[in-house]
Structure 1
Amino acid sequence: MNLYTSDITQGYSPYPFAFTPVQYQAQPVPPSYAMYQTNLQAVLPLLRQAVQGERNDELFYDYLIQNAPSNQDKEIIISIRDDERRHRQMFRQMYYSLTGQTIGPSDSESFEKPTTYLSGIEKALFGELSAVELYRKIYFMIPGTVFKNMVFEILTDEIKHASKYNFLYAKNK
């Protein structure tokens, strides 16, 4: 015997709500969402800024390595510095692939020496977090999956670096 006759099951849904298909229509993107659109012309200066930032970080981290109080600190900062070198090269490759032009050496390759090792670690920590914000903009604007994947790798490295600097700060406080 069938307990569910056709008149009982009509209109029955196993879910307590109904799904209504969404009708997608092309809508203009609000200005506040413009950063989420691919924009080659806007990303090129950001790539140049990233190359310069990675170089400045490399120089600053060389200074921190020379002033590190322990071998453990030195090894951690060396690994971060080496990542920064690789990131710089990756950003240069992206720029060249997108424009056919190379980014030449910068006129300003300097940094402000921190008053103490610990203040240098703090500056490095917040520098890494600022880089995350810049690279997130680059990620949204850069065209192409390969470039997005490269930026994602760099971005996650920067988050990892911030965690390592946080460790060094806590360890040396």
Structure 2
Amino acid sequence: MFPYHYPTDHRSLFDNFGKFLRDVEKAANDEAQAALFYTQLMDMAEKEFDKEQIKHARDDERKHLCQLRRLYYSLTGRYPAVEEPVPTETTYKAGLRKAFQDELEAAEFYRAMLLATRDMHIRDLLFEIMIDEMEHADRFSFIYPK
């Protein structure tokens, strides 16, 4: 889908172009942080099934980071500033709870971004990411120790 090069008048496709770009940059940073966090959770998981669920989410987060970087580039001609992710101190159970909550919040964030543009290519991309985030929340809720 991307890189798709937008004409110079593409700003009219957004409710607030500057905010949308800041949101794409924030999302890219959040995806990078989540990918590192899920790698940490995978290392803590004891069951192979749990590791597979976390790996699936981690791999999706890496994919989302690439997609968001390409989107930002297609809109600006440059890549977003993505900070080096920082390891998170947590226990396995607390980490799963945090992951579940973060995924729900991410789905809401992507929904808001989706509604802030009238470009169907971008809406399709954000819809795909939003659905992935909802799926991740389901996976984390399933493996959360009761």
TM-score range, shorter chain: 0.7 to 0.9
Q: How big is the shift at 1:81?
A: 0.3
Q: How big is the shift at 1:141?
A: 1.5
Q: Which has the larger radius of gyration?
A: 1
Give the aligned partner of residue 9 of structure 2: none
Structure 1 residue 113 corresponds to structure 2 residue 118: no
Deviations 1:104-125 (A, max 9, x none): 341x5214211x2111100000
Asked if the contact 2:25–2:82 (Cα under 8 Å) also holds between the matched residues in 1, the reply is no
> In the aligned structure 2, how far is the partner of 1:104 from the partner of 1:52?
8
Give the aligned partner of residue 51 of structure 1: 28
Aligned-pair identity (%): 35
Asked if the contact 1:39–1:143 (Cα under 8 Å) also holds between the matched residues in 2, the reply is no
Q: How big is the shift at 1:143?
A: 4.2
> In the aligned structure 2, how far is the partner of 1:150 from the partner of 1:105?
19
Q: Which amino acid aligns with 2:76?
A: T
> In the aligned structure 2, how far is the partner of 1:104 from the partner of 1:44?
11
Q: Which amino acid aligns with 2:125?
A: M
After TM superposition, list the pairs within 5 Å mapping 1:102-141 onto structure 2.
Answer: 102-106=79-83, 108-114=84-90, 116-141=91-116
Asked if the contact 2:28–2:82 (Cα under 8 Å) also holds between the matched residues in 1, the reply is no
Q: How big is the shift at 1:129?
A: 0.8
Q: Which amino acid aligns with 2:34?
A: D
Asked if the contact 2:32–2:62 (Cα under 8 Å) also holds between the matched residues in 1, the reply is yes
> In the aligned structure 2, how far is the partner of 1:55 from the partner of 1:71?
24
Q: How big is the shift at 1:57?
A: 0.3
Q: Secondary structure, in 3 states, of the residue corresponding to 1:104?
A: coil
Q: Secondary structure, in 3 states, of the residue corresponding to 2:15?
A: coil
Q: Secondary structure, in 3 states, of the residue corresponding to 1:113?
A: coil
Give the aligned partner of residue 133 of structure 2: 158
Structure 1 residue 68 corresponds to structure 2 residue 45: yes
> In the aligned structure 2, how far is the partner of 1:96 from the partner of 1:132?
22
> In the aligned structure 2, how far is the partner of 1:91 from the partner of 1:144?
15
Q: Which amino acid aligns with 2:19?
A: A
Deviations 1:51-71 (A, max 9, x none): 000000001000000010100
TM-score by length of 2: 0.86
TM-score by length of 1: 0.73
Aligned Cα RMSD in Å? 1.3
Correspondence for 1:83 among 60, 67, 70: 60
